[in-house]
Structure formats: structure tokens, C-alpha cells
Structure 1
Amino acid sequence: MEPASLPAPRFCLSSGLNDYSVERGYSLTHTLVSFLGRGNPDRGKRYRQATYEFAPGQQQTTEFFGLGLLQQIQPDRLLILGTTGSMWDVLLFSLGLGQEYDEALLALTESADADRTTQEELDGLTTVVSARLGLPVTLRLIPYGRDTGEQVEILQRMALDLAEGDAVTLDVTHGLRHLPMLAQMSALYLRRVKNVEARGLYYGALDMTRNGLTPVMNLAGLLRIAEWVGALNTFDKDGDYGAFADLMEQDGVSTHQANYLRRAAFRERTSNAWEARADLRNLDAVLDSGLPGMSALFADQLKTRIRWHKGQDLLAWQRELALEYLGRSDYIRSTIYAFEGFVTSLIDDKKERFWDFQDRDRVRKEYQSGLRGKKLLFGDYFLLKGLRNALAHGTRPDDSKIRHKVESALSDSKLLQEELRRLIKKLLPR
């Protein structure tokens, strides 16, 4: 079989990988990571040549999918990962390295057959492979991933071969059957630990070949699902649904519409439930019309997480937010919304305005002076106020009885949860 048609070199070969002069005007590196499988035990049977169709009219004929993908996306470097028994020899023979390398390749065949390929053997061929392909190439041994320890080691080795902020495209076509799952996890891991951008997760579906064309699948949608799941976890932890805005934009929601979420998240977290509700009502129309892309899978979950704004009035919104933040153990925001909710319950909407700070301040002072509201709630009101001030400002009430109750509640998370839930139920009844 003739060697694969390869791209013209874009790098100047010097003494080794680190001496390449890269002809580009920016520092970010786009790396194609290709996994190499073990293949058929009979090394006389090579991988089957196929014509991979990336898009209508965009085809690459090659034995190794990674080489076709290389020509299609034109990365800055290539990282090939394989085990001690992977088909390193078959891959390198297909490149037509020249007779002077036949002895080294035959030795590599023996090593691969015996499942004992060494990193030193691969390093000895890196320079010529890089020159043949026209870009820096790293040939890296990885373990099989048979247990957690080996799986962790694979991720660690990948992280060492990639720089902070780089971009990566993953090819899982020829890897071991379990490696696609590990590749997906590696993309998520690298994004978190090194801010690496995952540009694609490709698979050449040889078993779906029809009429001489093999379809190419970009499984990057799996990464988008994982991002949404992560955003849901983030929200459930801290209540910031602004985390969904970027994902919605990436799926095609306009910036103007995504900004409803961003503004609502900011306003809610700065105790401005009234204006947050207005943004969420505008968002309702966007959700009801149907979200595009992967966002559609999570529209119902998003609706559930912003349902507080469906309440009939300000008091209902503040009560629901107090309970939601309590459920996330965000005690400061829970006490703030509960306290402000009680003040709202004292307002006479025929004479006073819910969102006038002077009205609210006057109402609060009148209640504390016994001029309005139920005096039977004094003890619970001052306890809630004491908890709010203790959590927000680190202060303690002057009244010794209230101070003792505050300190008792703050001594244990379970006690604090129970006390706040009781206060919300008592002071902000449905």
C-alpha cells in the first residue's frame, strides 16, 4: 500500500521537537490528540483504508483516520497516544519513512507483538515522523486504563503534554473500545485544570460505510451535555443561574435574550427580587418558544430552577427565595430574603410602596416601636434580625435572651437549618 498523502510541511525541522520554528503569529497551540489501538493480532493485516467524509465534498482517503483529520483541521501539532501493544509499527510503516528506518521499525514490530513497546523506541522515531508529517509530533505511551490508577495516569500524561489555554481536538477512531469515554472525561478535565478548549471529539464510523464513503461523527455534543450538567450542579450549589447564559448563547440563543438570565441572576443575588422577576418573565417567552441545540434538553430543569418568580406577589417571591437559599445552605441570603419578606408583610399597599426604601425603613421602625403589626411575633422577628446581622456583619444582639438563641443556632448547621425554617414558616406564612 502506498504511503498516505500528507500535507506540505509548515515547520522548519531542526534538531528536535522543541526546536521547531512555528510560522504563526499567536501563542495558542491547537493539538490533535489521536488514540492508537491494538488492532488485529496478525500484524500482516493492517487497518482498512477508507474514504472518510467530513462533509459533502470534503473527503480524505487514508488507513489511519487521524491522518485524514490532520489534513482536514490543520492543527499546530499532533499527539499520538497508544499502549505498549498498540500498532505503532503499522502506523509508522504507512508513512514511508525510508529504508534507513526499516531496522528500527522491525524492532518496534517485535516490541508491539510482545506488548512491550518502550517510550525510548518511540522517542527515537519522533524527529523523522515530525519531518514526514510536516508538524511537531509527540508519540506517547499510556497505560491501558484497566483500573482507576491507570485511568488517572492517562489524564495526567495528557495534561503534561498540553499547555495552559491551548486548544485540542480528540480522535478516538482507532483507540481501545473504552477510550472514547475516557477521552470525553479528559476533555472536561483539561478544561478545568488547564483551561484547554475542546474543539471536537471525532470518530470515523467504519462500520457505517455506504457506497464507499465512511461518515465522520463529531461527538462534541457529549461535552456540551456535560457542561450543562455541570452548570446545573453549580446552580444547585450557589444559586447562580447566570451559569446557563453562556451555554444558551453557544446553542444559538441571542445575547439579548441570554442577558435576561445574567441580569436576573445579578439582581436576585443583590436582593432585588422585583427587577429579577421582570427579567425572568421576559425569559419565559424564550423558554416557551423552545431552546435550540443541547439547551432544549435542559429547558424544563431551567424552568424549575427559576419557578420562584411565578408567585403572586413580592412576599411570595421573597418567601420562596428564602427557602431556596436555605436549601443551598446560603444562610446570609436566606435570612436577608426572610427579613425583607417580613417587612413586606407589614406594608399597607394602599398607602405605601413595596420598593420605596424610605417606606420600608419607616415600616420596620414602626413595628419595632409597637406601632403596627403583631406584637406576638416580636421574639421571632428580633431573633431573625439577630441571625441576619450575625451572619452578615458578625455582630450579636444586645438583648441577652436573643443573643443566647442566636449563638445557639449558629453553633450547629442542623440547628440553624431548623431554626431558620421555623422562622420563615412563622413570619412568612403562605
Structure 2
Amino acid sequence: MAHTLISFLGRVPKQVAGYRPTTYSFDGVLDEPTAFIGWSLRRRLTPDRLVILGTAGSMWDHLFERDIDLGTVAEDERLALQEATENRIVTAELLKPLAPVLQQRLGCEVRLALIPYCHNEAEQLDLLTIMATQVELGDRVSLDVTHGFRHLPMLALLSAMHLRVVRNAHIEGIYYGAYDHDSGAAPVVDLSGLLRIADWLDALSTYDKDGDYGVFAKLLGPAGDQLSKAAFFERTSNPVKARAALNTWINRAERYPNADPAAHLFREPLEERVRWFRQPNRPAWEKSLAWEYLDHQDYVRAAIYGLEAVISSEAAQCGQDIGSFDCRDALREKLKHTRDGFRMLGHLRNALAHGLRPFNKDIERIISDEDNLRNTLKSLFTQLLGKP
């Protein structure tokens, strides 16, 4: 698994002679003075591949004239690049012969690539595509956003998310050299913690789509195992075991990892999404789950939990053993013949679960249109269970 460092090259005002030499610090440890932070990061991170991205107007000549003394090596090519840089017309052809010069000096693969100015959405998407072409499948990736566009950190965050998906890349860090004009200090800040916030937002979005809170498990470390179990039991129609697993998780003092501040930021939204297990009894658990799965448009599970909630409620009212399979089967048969709504809900559940052609036109009409199905289930739940 190779390590790729991607750094950006910008441009300073014409009256300023390039980037100023700066002593960057990493976790309080000072590096040697460097004008282009990419060299400092290369020394510290020792990547296998260094990719430098810039526009046709970036200070490409700066790479060969300030921090690295190349003497007369590739002098003609460097002069041509300097002229093109002054006129902001650098091309890939001018950069191509100079990448091996840096590669030999630095001891790692070097790629120099042009990018658009990212003034509009199309150019911003082009940047993501270009960055993805510089990364191999499974690479470890570090991003440096110190130089370049003012809006680059936002684009870099999106790019990091994009690379994780399309290249299965592991983002090692998103670095920014924060130079302080007053003190002269230049601590290098790692912004990759923002990806954890993105992970939580993605997990919340996934849950809101399908109701599976197992997606939070990987974000919670060891404590997340209980959430995985709870999600499994809930989605296999076992609310008793699901509730037990949720109780175990909620009572763990370390259910959120201390090393991840983002976890505490999303604590309330997560616990709100698993609130059903705080209901006082099984009929209430199943009723809550029926309505929640209906909200998530998971109509099969909604119908299953709706039926089970009616049976549990009937068992409780009759003083029977809610957990007895024989008791529940007997009540199911009774309710089929005494409650029209229960019988209709059962027919819908069977048609949805088995994919069989319904035996009556009413059921066929209901399941042939999502709005009809959703409204019918909502009406049946209100009739049989009461409002959520």
C-alpha cells in the first residue's frame, strides 16, 4: 500500500518574490526553514509518491529555484518554465521533463500535474477527477492544502471523501501550515478530523434512509458491537433481544470513544434514533418500531411489527404470556377472524414478503402504488395501534 502526498502550488502577488521561507512546526517540533511546505511534509511523511498540483499560472518555477539548488541541471527546461510561469501559460509538456529531475533529487516518485482554476462546478469536479487519477487503489493519502486556492480546503475535504470511495484510500492527514504574521510561528494543523464528522453525517443519513442503526457501530469502537447486535435482532423481528443489547450499550460508561470528539457531537441525535427501547413494555416497543419502519419506507418490517404489536397488546389485555409462541399463534388465529384490520394487515404482509400474486383485487390495488400502500398501512396502524 503506497503512501501518496498531494500538495498544491499557488501564486503570490507579482511584487512578492515567491513564498517566504518559513519554519514549520509539527506537533511542536520545528522543521528546517522552507518556502514550499511540500518539501517539509515530504521530509516528515516520507511518501512513496509526491504529487504537486497547480494551475497554468502557479509558481512552477518556484519548485526549482528556491529550496532546491539544482545548479545547471535541466537549465534550458527551467528557463522555459520560468518564462511560461511569468505569462501564466505553463503546459504539461513543460512540466514533463522536470518531474524526473525532482524525483532524482528527492528519492521518491514525483508527478507534476495541471489543474483548472475551479471557478465553477464543472472545474471543481474536474479537480476531483484529476486527484483520483493520481491515487492508486488502496493508497494511503496525505493532502496539503496550505498553498493554492482560498477555497481549496473545502474542495480538499470533498476530495478526501471522494478518494475514500472511488480509490478505497485511507486518508492519513489533511495538512495546513497556519503561518502567523505577528509571531512568525507556523504550526502545521491536521484537518482530517473533519472526516469523522462527515462519517457521522453519512451514518445518520443512512439510518434515516433505512432505519439500520448498525451503521453507527464502526464509529463507536468496541461499544459499537452491542449496537450491531441490537440492529441485527431488531431487523430479524426479535425486539426482546434487540432491547437487551441496546440496554447493555446505553449503560456502558464508555459507549462513546473519548478519542473521537465528533462522537459526542452526535450523541443526542443517535440516542434519539434508538429511543424505542425506552418504551415500558413489548406492545409499545413493537408499536414504535412499526411506525418507525413505516417512516423509513420499509413496508415489510412495518407490517410485521404492526401485526406483532397487535398480538402483544391482545396478550397483555388477556393476561396471557406475551413471550409464549403457542399463545401468540392462538391469538393470531383469533384476531384473523375477529379484527378486519388485522386480517387486512396480514394479507398485505404476506403479499409484500412472499412476492406472490395477491388473491384479491383490493390487495393488488394497494401494493401496486406506493402512496396507496403507505396510506393504507398508516390507516391500519392508527386503527389497530393508535397514533405514534
**TM-score class normalised by the smaller sequence:** over 0.9
1:393 CA drift (Å): 0.3
Residue number in structure 2 paired with 1:364: 332
Please state if 1:111 is matched with 2:66. Answer: no
Relative to structure 2, which stretch is displaced further, 47-56 or 281-290?
281-290
Residue number in structure 1 paired with 2:283: 315
Please state if 1:50 is matched with 2:26. Answer: no
The whole-number CA distance in structure 1 between the counterparts of 2:34 and 2:191 is 21
1:284 CA drift (Å): 2.1
The answer to whether the 8 A contact 1:287-1:299 is kept is: no
The whole-number CA distance in structure 1 between the counterparts of 2:362 and 2:252 is 46
Residue number in structure 1 paired with 2:356: 395
1:58 CA drift (Å): 5.0
Structure 2: unaligned runs, 5 residues or longer: none
1:275 CA drift (Å): 1.0
1:159 CA drift (Å): 1.0
Q: 1:150 to 1:189 in 2, by over 3 A?
A: same
The structure 1 residue matched to 2:266, chosen from 269, 281, 298, is 298
Please state if 1:74 is matched with 2:46. Answer: yes
Count of equivalent residues: 384
The answer to whether the 8 A contact 1:386-1:396 is kept is: no
Relative to structure 2, which stretch is displaced further, 55-64 or 111-120?
55-64
Q: 1:60 to 1:309 in 2, by over 3 A?
A: farther
The structure 1 residue matched to 2:238, chosen from 268, 272, 282, is 272
The whole-number CA distance in structure 2 between the counterparts of 1:270 and 1:163 is 39
Question: Helix, strand or coil for the counterpart of 1:165?
Answer: coil
The whole-number CA distance in structure 2 between the counterparts of 1:39 and 1:102 is 24
1:80 CA drift (Å): 0.6
1:356 CA drift (Å): 2.8
The answer to whether the 8 A contact 2:7-2:143 is kept is: yes
The whole-number CA distance in structure 1 between the counterparts of 2:145 and 2:216 is 29
1:221 CA drift (Å): 1.4
Please state if 1:85 is matched with 2:85. Answer: no
The whole-number CA distance in structure 1 between the counterparts of 2:181 and 2:283 is 59
Q: Deviations over 1:277-315 (max 9, x none)?
A: 111122223479865321011001001111111111111
Residue number in structure 2 paired with 1:206: 179
Q: 1:367 to 1:79 in 2, by over 3 A?
A: same
The whole-number CA distance in structure 1 between the counterparts of 2:108 and 2:95 is 16
Question: Helix, strand or coil for the counterpart of 1:301?
Answer: helix
Residue number in structure 2 paired with 1:419: 376
The answer to whether the 8 A contact 2:23-2:30 is kept is: no
Q: Deviations over 1:346-371 (max 9, x none)?
A: 21477643233232222212333x5x
The answer to whether the 8 A contact 2:220-2:255 is kept is: no
1:333-412 paired onto structure 2 within 5 Å: 333-348=301-316, 352-368=320-336, 370=337, 375=338, 377=339, 379-396=340-357, 398=359, 403-412=360-369
The structure 2 residue matched to 1:102, chosen from 75, 80, 90, is 75
Q: Deviations over 1:23-58 (max 9, x none)?
A: xxxxx111000011122324x612111111111335
**Aligned Cα root-mean-square deviation (Å):** 1.9
1:103 CA drift (Å): 2.4
Q: 1:213 to 1:32 in 2, by over 3 A?
A: same
1:239-250 paired onto structure 2 within 5 Å: 239-249=211-221
Question: Helix, strand or coil for the counterpart of 1:63?
Answer: coil
Q: Deviations over 1:176-203 (max 9, x none)?
A: 1111111110000111112111111000
Question: Helix, strand or coil for the counterpart of 1:217?
Answer: strand
Please state if 1:216 is matched with 2:185. Answer: no
Residue number in structure 2 paired with 1:64: 36
Residue number in structure 2 paired with 1:236: 208
Residue number in structure 2 paired with 1:331: 299
The whole-number CA distance in structure 2 between the counterparts of 1:392 and 1:345 is 23
Question: Helix, strand or coil for the counterpart of 1:199?
Answer: strand
The answer to whether the 8 A contact 2:358-2:364 is kept is: no
The whole-number CA distance in structure 2 between the counterparts of 1:168 and 1:125 is 23
The whole-number CA distance in structure 2 between the counterparts of 1:356 and 1:74 is 64
Q: 1:57 to 1:100 in 2, by over 3 A?
A: closer
Which consecutive aligned stretches of 4+ in structure 1 deviate over 6 angstroms post-superposition?
287-290
% identical aligned pairs: 43
The whole-number CA distance in structure 2 between the counterparts of 1:413 and 1:350 is 36
Question: Helix, strand or coil for the counterpart of 2:146?
Answer: strand
Q: 1:304 to 1:189 in 2, by over 3 A?
A: same
The answer to whether the 8 A contact 1:291-1:299 is kept is: no
1:426 CA drift (Å): 1.0
